[in-house]
Structure 1
Amino acid sequence: MRACGEVRQRSPRVGGEVRYCSPRVGGEVRYCSPRVGGDVRQHSPRGGHELREQRQPSGVVLPHERWAIAVGTPLVAGLQRRRGVRTALLVGAALVLLGAPLVVLAPALPFLVAGSALQGLGPAGLTTIAMSIAGSARAMGLVTASLATVRAASPLAGDVVAGTLGWRATLALPALSLAAVPFVLRRRPVTPLSGSTFDMAGAALLTALVTALVFVPHTWLPAGGAALAVGALLALRLRARPDGFVPVEVVRAPMFLVAAGPAFLLAVVNFGMMYALPPLLARNAGWSGGQVGLAITWPLLFGGLASYLLLMCTARSRLLVPLVLFPALSVAGVVLAAVSDAWAALLAAQALASLAAASGQGAFATRAAAAVPDGERSAAMGLFNLLYLLGAAFGPAIATLLVG
């Protein structure tokens, strides 16, 4: 199966064709048509016709948007580090405002691709800003639990919007995130600014590295080779500019690495299961694609909502507690899915993986932010979220290798 592609299977119990969409690699997942991940996408068979193309535009649009989300995360964090929250917030909002009319009114595919890329850059930056200004475990828990809950509810929202306003309207749903901008600006959050000159070479190398890593799950040999080469150049750049675009104080902080590593692995498991379980549910339960999408929404909602409570329970504990608890929940979900084909067991497995990933994102982000100086907090959150997104990218690819 291809990540981000539509998959069809025949099911004797359904008596027809079961259709669902494979998960998207940039931190979101797709079932049938809706998009998950803070905003919603609807794929329509008519989309290619309206763009005067013979096929759906999603296969062209999604890679560019995935790239924009991954690249935008550290870039907006770097802008915040140098220019402050207000500037970074306004730039992120402007990108969303530019992208929304493009995707709604795009007369041709290139305009749709450009609009989707802008829609990826904007929300990615807003998420990083929200996490960087969260001053407590409670605030961080609200941010990450909200992200997970919105990801879970997005398929249903996508169906409603597409049914009433058309598939193009779902492409503009990231604009809803702009409602939070005035509230944040009224708070006038202030973060320490970096006094160093802008590291253009470091920013370019990190962008190139992220670009290669995003495409590793699809073209692993050339993209993997490029990632190794660019990674070596970036390491040399870190030695030349320790206070550059990628601060050495962040990447060499032991606690940051200890926190970011498990968050990456939890994302791999969670998004890998979101990819692998829908076809199993369709086959074993005899459900249609729509029924599968609706059924798997509930464990994802549970994981997002319950993650806040679990995060609060572990906020004051030693680091060892989340390091053991959240991976244990994730492993339990994998084992449950491996030993049972019952639909209830598969949904419970997804709930455990979702709970572990959402809780881990909040708990480990709080500790990663506390592990670096205040002036590097935004850079730390940018790199932390980038690793989480890469985990969401590699999860479906690994699931493909394991389950086919």
Structure 2
Amino acid sequence: MSAHPATGGLRPTASQPARGIPGAWLATMAGPLSFGIAGPSLILADTAYDLGVTIGAVTWIVTAFGWAIAVGTPLMAGLQRRRGARTALLAGAALVLLGAALVVVAPALPFLVAGSALQGLGTAGLTTIAMSIAGSPRTMGLVTASLATVGAASPLAGDVVAGTLGWRATLALPALSVLAVPFVLRRRPLTPLSGTTFDLAGAALLTALVTALVFVPHTWLPAGGAAVAAGVLLALRLRARPDGFVPVEVVRAPTFLVASGLAFLLAVVNFGMMYALPPLLVENAGWSSGQVGLAITWPLLFGGLASYLVIMLTARRGLLVPVVLYAVLSATGVVLAAVSGAWALLLAAQALASLAAASGQGAFATRAALAVPDREQSAAMGLFNLLYLLGAAFGPAIATLLVG
């Protein structure tokens, strides 16, 4: 896929759908992933009470979803690379529906955790496919804006759904992504196939590395050691199999590395801010936790919605413009949060961090895709989203250490 000099968009290639897929359907397919991350945040106490377990135990539902989207992103991208978008779409939808059925009827916590993990695997695949076939900066911006916007509204939406239909319905909200799958399939999305044999060892090593990294913030010493070992073995595997599960053409592309690294850092700041600011607002503004939850929704919504416009404004610029702009927005948010206790400035800090992360995810994903050959774009999107999600995992842990 290559940039069109006249439009600044993307020239149609085999990696794009045969017929244009409306961005609204791709956004609908991707956005509900955020329900699984933030939707359960206000219903965990009710879940724990009904199941007769502790709140600490039910948080494994969210942890399982986070692990599954981190692991599932590159795995489902690998399936797309080997079997094409249509097969990956059907597999992702099947996993989501099976997971949703489990959380709706599960009699005990282990089944809920398994159902949440299945939904995470499936929505990770649907989101990665949506980004890989977006086809233009405008559509990519709409997809990533949907992720940020749904994420901002998820806690309140989850609480409302739980109050109306019960907490199990809240846990099944990621299944809304499946509504868009038939409409996307009708447009016959095409992606170039790898043509190589499946690299089982590479997939296993990347899964081990991702799993270890996800647990680093919680048990840093054993998980860190496991991550280093898995990373070394994966690097050796790359030398032995350069066209394997993690293609060398992707990880050696400078633009891909810069775009993915910056997206990771912006995610660390944004998701870290989401956990660092609430206790500061409670302390400095004297608000209740409910008031803080409502107040923090608005800057997050602003960041998600405004990111679409920011991505459009920087779509025809070189890489340096979004790098500088998003870095300045994110750094300004950090400075505001560090030097001021005024509630208005704290909320402004969250708005800037959210805007930078949501815009960066969309703008840098487009540039990361352009940096690799067509046949490797699904792998590039899987690895790019993996790094962004790892930023979402590290940010809260770092914020907890700093604020705590």
* CA distance in structure 2 between the partners assigned to 1:324 and 1:359 by the alignment: 12
Matched, 1:182 2:182: yes
Alignment of 1:267-346 (within 5 A): 267-346=267-346
Aligned to 1:351: 351
Other-structure match for 2:129? 129
- Which residue matches 2:401? 401
CA distance in structure 1 between the partners assigned to 2:361 and 2:339 by the alignment:
27
Structure 2 residue identity aligned to 1:352 = L
Distance of 1:393 and 1:38 partners within structure 2: 13
- 1:87-98 equivalences under 5 Å are 87-98=87-98
Structure 1 gaps, min length 5: 1-27, 29-33
What SS does the aligned partner of 2:305 have?
helix
Give the direction of change, closer, same or farther, for the CA distance of 1:157–1:354 in structure 2 (3 Å limit).
same
Q: How does 1:5-404 map to 2 (within 5 A)?
A: 37=37, 42-53=42-53, 55=55, 57-404=57-404
Moved over 6 A (4+): none
8 Å CA contact 1:100–1:119 kept in 2: the answer is yes
Is residue 36–residue 171 contact of structure 2 (8 Å, CA) maintained in 1? no
Following TM superposition, by how much is the alpha carbon of 1:57 offset from its aligned partner in structure 2, in angstroms? 4.0
CA shift, 1:52, in A, is 4.2
Say if 2:38 and 2:155, in contact at 8 Å, map to a contact too.
no
Deviation at 1:38, TM superposition (A): 7.7
Gaps of 5+ in 2: 1-30
Give 1:40 shift.
Answer: 5.2
User: Which range moved further: 389-398 or 375-384?
Assistant: 389-398
Residue 398 of structure 1: how far off its partner (Å): 1.4
Alpha carbons 1:41, 1:170 under 8 Å: kept: no
Instruction: Compute the displacement of 1:63 (Å).
Output: 2.3
Change (3 A) 1:231 1:44: closer
Asked if the contact 1:36–1:150 (Cα under 8 Å) also holds between the matched residues in 2, the reply is no
Superposed CA offset, 1:224-248 (max 9, x none): 0100001000000001110100000
Specify the code of the residue in structure 2 equivalent to 1:126.
L
Q: Deviations over 1:140-194 (max 9, x none)?
A: 1110011111111111211110111111110001111111101111111101000
Q: Aligned equivalents of 1:220 and 1:214: distance in 2?
A: 10
Question: 324-333 vs 175-184, which deviates more?
Answer: 175-184
How far the C-alpha of 1:50 sits from its partner, in A, is 3.0
Change in Cα spacing, 1:57 to 1:102, as seen in structure 2 (3 Å) is: farther
Distance in 1, matches of 2:399 and 2:54, equals 31
Call closer, same or farther: CA 1:49–1:68 in 2, change over 3 Å: same
How has the CA–CA distance of structure 1 residues 62 and 379 changed in structure 2, closer, same or farther, with 3 Å as cutoff? Answer: same
Give the whole-Å Cα distance in 2 for the aligned partners of 1:110 and 1:380: 33
Match of 1:20 in 2: none
In 2, the alpha carbon distance for the partners of 1:169 and 1:70 equals: 23
Does the CA contact (< 8 Å) of 1:42 and 1:167 recur in 2?
no
**How far apart, CA to CA, are the structure 1 residues paired with 2:46 and 2:344?**
35
CA distance in 1, matches of 2:199, 2:386: 19
8 Å Cα contact 1:42-1:170 kept in structure 2? no
Identity %, equivalent residues: 81
Asked whether the equivalents of residues 152 and 300 of structure 2 are also in contact (C-alpha less than 8 Å), the reply is yes
TM-score normalised over the length of structure 1: 0.89
The answer (yes or no) to whether the contact 1:69–1:124 under 8 Å persists in 2 is yes
Match of 1:45, SS state, is helix
Q: Distance in 1 between matches of 2:70 and 2:245?
A: 16
| 1:54 shift after superposition | 5.2
SS, match of residue 45 in structure 2: coil
Cα distance per residue 1:66-119 (max 9 Å; x no partner) = 211110000000000000001001101000110111111111111111111111
Letter in structure 2 aligned against 1:278: P
**Which residue is 1:19 aligned to?**
none
Residue by residue over 1:34-72, the C-alpha shift from the partner in whole angstroms, topping out at 9 and shown as x without a partner, is 967485565243423433435564233222222111100
Alignment length (residue pairs): 372
The one-letter code of the counterpart of 1:127 is T
Higher-helix-fraction structure: 2
The letter for the 2-side match of 1:250 is: V
* Structure 2 match to 1:11: none
C-alpha distance in 2 between matches for 1:177 and 1:39 = 14
8 Å contact from structure 2 (residues 36, 173) kept in 1: no
CA distance in 2, matches of 1:41, 1:55: 11
| 8 Å contact kept, 1:217–1:394 | yes
Instruction: Identify if the C-alpha distance between structure 1 residues 371 and 110 changes in structure 2 by more than 3 Å, giving closer, same or farther.
Output: same
Q: SS at 2:276's partner residue? A: helix
CA distance in 1, matches of 2:251, 2:65: 26
Structure 2 CA distance, aligned partners of 1:49 and 1:94? 30
Tell me how far apart the structure 1 counterparts of residues 257 and 375 of structure 2 sit (CA, whole Å): 18
Inter-CA distance 65–390: structure 2 relative to 1 (3 Å threshold): same
Judged with a 3 Å threshold, the aligned counterparts in structure 2 of structure 1 residues 390 and 54 are, in CA distance, closer, same or farther, namely closer
Residue 127 of structure 1 and its aligned partner are, at CA, apart by 0.7
CA distance in 1, matches of 2:36, 2:305: 16
